[in-house]
Structure 1
Amino acid sequence: MTITVDPSRLSLTREESTYLAIRTTQGGRTVYTTRIPLSELPVILSIPDPAKPDPDNRRVDPNHAKGFGSYLAENPGWVAPALLIRDTGGCRFEPISADGTVGYLTVPWAIGGIGRLITIDGQHRVLGVHLEKKRITDEIARIDRETVRANEIKKQKLEEEREALILRLQRLKEEFIGVDIYVEVDGVRGQQMFVDVADNAKGISGAVRARFDTSRIANRTLTDIVAHPLFVGKIDVERDRMTLTNRNLMGAKQVADITRSVIAGPAGRVNKKVESLTDNEVIESVRGFLDVISTVFTDLAAITEEDVDNYHPSLSEKRKNEPPAPPTKAMQLRVSSLLGSVGMLRVLGGVYRNLKEDGVDDGDIQEFFKRLDRHMGAPVTEQSIWRTTAANEDFEPNASAPIMRQQNIIHLTKVITDWYKKAPAAI
């Protein structure tokens, strides 16, 4: 009897993987650029342990890593930059192009391979993929166990869940991510590479994230909301913090925060119900709130009417032999009024939401807010309603803004909402 064995069908002992790569140079080092399946990241790279930081890298944040895995699962249109990896001497490159720049790159596995690769930038992506793979395979195993004792109706549902999970697992095998591998054997120079990458990386501000992150409804509607007369031309689209010298009313991130207060309450927790709102519903609600406050609060009405040319950034720069431009009304507001605090605007947004949910119309809300207008001066005095009522616990002495802790914002919103039905004598 003759037996024919196909060696290609056998899974032999392997401790390395081979990819097509391009060889270039950067900073005097050889760099191999390739793309690998997401599922193979935890194979060729060590899985970061949050409890035991790699001596060549920073401690990994498990929640951030898990978030990347969830992002992959929930976003078919995901995008992520290339990982930066250090080759400590274990990679082999076999040129196949005439100029030697294109070839086969063989890299050692993280476990069992000799001369392992070290992650410079990308730890959370590696751990995130690992956690997502584990979650999917654990779920499939759970379904297989439950299927054995399930009735026919339950079996059909379990089978559908299983097929969906298999498709997710297949995506991790079929979708690729870029990897740049720097050849650097010297450990000290390798650590310096990590420092250099960290020093030269520029994170994005909350204002920029609010402008471009369309996955969240408060950000997605931002362009339409900042077109309101109160905001137009007066929003800083780059910075998060409003210093006394910033000529703008607030940053784009703060606009998104106010939006969340109006549609989700002062805690700003956007649940599935809120996310199910259409963009137009959100825009209409927030613009309704802005219409109210820009009408009844004297200082905000003045800012609404102010010439936006006064907010041009170049005016904040003192020219030679010229006095600086006079401050904008927004700059003055931060000094003289509680309305200059985004925290107070978030509170008012929450009050507006609460009253609307109780069936109060905008006209009655206007009348209520108008009674608060004369109490918006800052800093607050010991005789003000903010220090002589239940709002006292939400304001420090001589404060120009409420305490920004979440519990204080929530409490102050409730206090003012209750005033609509039973107001203190001062209002």
Structure 2
Amino acid sequence: MTEIEDFGVTAYDPHERFFGSRYKQGGRTVYGLDFSVSELVTFLPKPDPDKPLDASDSQRRIYPLHAKQFGEYVETTPDWVAPALLLRGPSIFEFDRKIAQNTGTTQFGVIGVPKDSRAEIKIVDGQHRTLGFHMAWESLNAKIMTARANLARAKEDAMDAAVVSNLQAKLDGLVHRRTTLASERVSVQIVVTDDPRVARRIFVDINDNAKGITGSVRSRFDDRKVISRALDIVLNNNELLKGRVDLELDRITGGSPYLLGAKHVADMLRALTVGNGRIGKRLEEELDEQQIAYEFEAFSNGMVTAFPDLRAVQEGDLAPASLRASSLLGSSVILRGFAAAWYELREEEWEIDEITEAFANFAAGMQGPVYPDPKDTWFATGLFSASDNGVYSPNSRAQDFKQLTTTITEWASAAPKWKRIAQG
């Protein structure tokens, strides 16, 4: 009998096959696989943000901007990271234990996914990441096509060799990035369930048990950002802040032993660096964390010199909670406002001693709270909300903060005749 030769043609196979594992979680069967980015966008359809939700959906509405930002992150960040995608599917899978290894709880083998039933596999957690992967892959392909065309035109037009070389290098970089993403892997878990209600329950459980990252943690941990690197230096060396910064929480309540949260310090560092501006990609590359930390040290010393209450906090004679209960200097918004004004004055070539002397003129007007009286110097700025009990911090909306910066900067040049209303 003549044996039929296997030519390795897979298009006629009704299944797509992947190496993977099978195990139990929460009483349900789960298959574990991994895809490259190119395989992922082929296996999973591109989520449609415009598709209306129906009662059987196990996901929330898609926000395209969030997906776009993730896609840009994957496309441009060599050391990108992404958690596993969680999918669900009915009992349609084949599992061939060709790999003998069995831990007793996990089996390893080949998972067969029916091609005709692939549309029944739905996303439970990770729709924004999936859309982002699609966007990243499409963006790279589009850029590569454009780069090839630009290079071809440059060669045809006999452009300068340096121009051709630059275009070739750009194309090579894009192709290299695509090749890299075609080899790096994304973990995928597929929970076997026929009931969309179970999938929705899983989605709720995931989000109920997830703890979001605070701004303070992000500010400390993302060392790709120059402000984060400067923050690390400042938190370890500044006398006013040492032991007085909450490293986890963004909101500092009245009785907290901390003066600021790490996010607030990062915001002050940013204000000292660009005022009310932003740090773009080019500036990010140009800035030096040591210089930013040095400027913060000068600012901190100036503030401690100008305001006796802050000096008392630094020397341990006044608790941050007591400062918040008696002075506007306990407000992170006020402190950031002085940082932004410091930047503006430095841009106007004021010396550090001059700014310190000007800020000292504010000391007489920093007692809190601010009551709703038009005769009160601070309330007259329109930056403080009206409350019969008084408020200790100005409004922090972007437009209000810009006005606060302008107000402090102008008052540094011509200190107001302070009139503070003691009670409403």
2:108 is the alignment partner of 1:102: yes
Aligned equivalents of 1:92, 1:119: Cα separation in 2: 20
TM-score, structure 1 as length reference: 0.86
Which residue is equivalent to 1:239?
A: 249
Answer with 28-37 or 97-106: which moved more: 97-106
TM-score, structure 2 as length reference: 0.87
Which residue is equivalent to 1:347?
A: 337
Which residue is equivalent to 1:416?
A: 408
Which of residues 347, 356, 363 in structure 2 aligns to 1:357?
347
Which of residues 386, 394, 399 in structure 2 aligns to 1:402?
394
- Answer whether contact 1:70 1:132 (CA < 8 A) is retained: yes
Aligned equivalents of 1:257, 1:297: Cα separation in 2: 21
- Answer whether contact 1:89 1:185 (CA < 8 A) is retained: yes
Deviation beyond 6 Å, 4+ runs, structure 1:
none
Q: Tell me, which stretches of 5 or more residues in structure 2 are unaligned?
A: 420-424
Shift of the 64–407 alpha-carbon distance from structure 1 to 2, 3 Å rule, reads same
- Answer whether contact 1:266 1:347 (CA < 8 A) is retained: no
SS state at 2:325 partner: helix
- Answer whether contact 1:210 1:252 (CA < 8 A) is retained: yes
- Superposition map of 1:70-85 within 5 A: 70-85=72-87
Which residue is equivalent to 2:310?
A: 300
Which residue is equivalent to 1:370?
A: 360
Which residue is equivalent to 1:38?
A: 37
- Superposition map of 1:16-415 within 5 A: 16-52=15-51, 55-98=57-100, 101-108=107-114, 113-114=117-118, 116-150=120-154, 151=157, 152-153=159-160, 154-226=163-235, 227-269=237-279, 272-306=282-316, 329-381=319-371, 382=373, 383-388=375-380, 392-397=381-386, 398-415=390-407
Per-residue deviation at 1:159? 2.8
- Answer whether contact 2:90 2:193 (CA < 8 A) is retained: yes
Root-mean-square deviation over aligned CA pairs: 2.4
Aligned equivalents of 2:392, 2:46: Cα separation in 1: 48
- Answer whether contact 2:254 2:321 (CA < 8 A) is retained: yes
Aligned equivalents of 2:99, 2:289: Cα separation in 1: 52
Q: Give the letter for the 1:48 counterpart.
A: P
Aligned equivalents of 1:94, 1:119: Cα separation in 2: 24
- Answer whether contact 2:359 2:412 (CA < 8 A) is retained: no
Instruction: Please give the per-residue CA displacement for 1:367-416, whole angstroms capped at 9, x wherever unaligned.
Output: 0000001111112243332234xxx1322334321111111111221222
- Answer whether contact 1:89 1:184 (CA < 8 A) is retained: yes
Instruction: Please give the per-residue CA displacement for 1:76-135, whole angstroms capped at 9, x wherever unaligned.
Output: 1122221122122232211113365110012356xx544632212111221111001111
Per-residue deviation at 1:147? 4.2
Per-residue deviation at 1:73? 2.3
- Answer whether contact 2:365 2:418 (CA < 8 A) is retained: no
Q: Give the letter for the 1:120 counterpart.
A: V
Which residue is equivalent to 1:315?
A: none
- Answer whether contact 2:73 2:80 (CA < 8 A) is retained: yes
- Answer whether contact 1:211 1:219 (CA < 8 A) is retained: yes
SS state at 2:124 partner: strand
Q: Tell me, which stretches of 5 or more residues in structure 1 are unaligned?
A: 308-327
- Answer whether contact 1:88 1:118 (CA < 8 A) is retained: no
Per-residue deviation at 1:351? 0.7
Which residue is equivalent to 2:422?
A: none
- Answer whether contact 2:361 2:415 (CA < 8 A) is retained: no
Aligned equivalents of 2:417, 2:246: Cα separation in 1: 39
Which residue is equivalent to 1:325?
A: none
Q: Give the letter for the 1:42 counterpart.
A: V
The alignment covers a number of residue pairs equal to 397
Q: Give the letter for the 1:24 counterpart.
A: Y
